[in-house]
Amino acid sequence: MEGSVLNIVILLAVLLFSMSIHEMMHALTSDWLGDDTARLQGRITLNPIRHIDPFFTVLLPLLLLVSGSPILFGAAKPVQVNFNRLRHGAWGGALVGMIGPITNLAIASIAAMLFSSFNPEIGSTLYQVFLLTIVLNVGLAIFNSIPWPPLDGSRLLYAFAPQGLKDYMESIERAGLAGLAIFIFLFYYFGSSIQDLMIKLIHILAPNLVF
């Protein structure tokens, strides 16, 4: 199997695995805090079919990989949460939101520890599995932590933001595609800073990883 094809297969496998855990933890946490919406929709599962969004889960990461983008990310089908039903108010919503990036960071950390233990040969299939697992999950953790609605990081900002900022964030969510267009512009503007943060975090977790 050609190296590039193998990398795509590994990427898709890692992406589906990581996003399934990410979304399951959103659903599990919201259920634990009092909202059973996600549980009733069958989202407390590792079955990737329940979490796949055709564009954001499959096509977008593939396009980024093929185009040689320095940043890899994607998104699953959002877990529906009724934040008004959660215990602890906005802080419950913050926990439901941030459990996703925390999960990705945990996956990257575990993969980094295993990478150090196995010390696979550069260029081997096992090396690529660890590399893509660490890089992708660090990227997902950082990207989803950005406090821009409806990303996970916005739920943390909602918890302590003044009412004026909350109203502005809610207007962004209501704007739909217009809000997304603004985010894409800002994301590319600050893309180099995000990439630098990713590289620093990856080096902290796996100092010997070459990518």
- Count how many domains the chain has: 1
Catalytic site includes residue 23: yes
Q: Check residue 39 and give its pLDDT.
A: 96
Six-digit token string for 161: 């933001």
210 within some domain = no
Domain region containing 50 = 3-205
**119: exposed, middle or buried (C-beta count within 10 Å: 0-12, 13-18, 19+)?**
exposed
Nearest CA to 133 out of 14, 48, 46 is that of 14
Overall average pLDDT of the 99-105 stretch: 97
180 within some domain = yes
47 within some domain = yes
Cβ–Cβ under 8 Å, residues 145 and 101: yes
Q: Which of 23, 121, 170, 173 is catalytic?
A: 23
pTM over 0.85: yes
211 within some domain = no
Instruction: State the first-to-last Cα distance of the chain, in angstroms, to the nearest integer.
Output: 21
102 within some domain = yes
11 within some domain = yes
185 within some domain = yes
Cα distances from 6 to residues 20, 52, 75, 126, 132, in angstroms, run: 21, 21, 22, 11, 12
30 within some domain = yes
pLDDT at residue 73 above 60?
A: no
Taking only the tens place, the pLDDT of each residue in 104-163 is 999 999 999 999 999 999 989 999 999 999 999 999 999 899 999 988 999 999 999 999
Cα distances from 115 to residues 13, 103, 136, 193, in angstroms, run: 18, 18, 15, 26
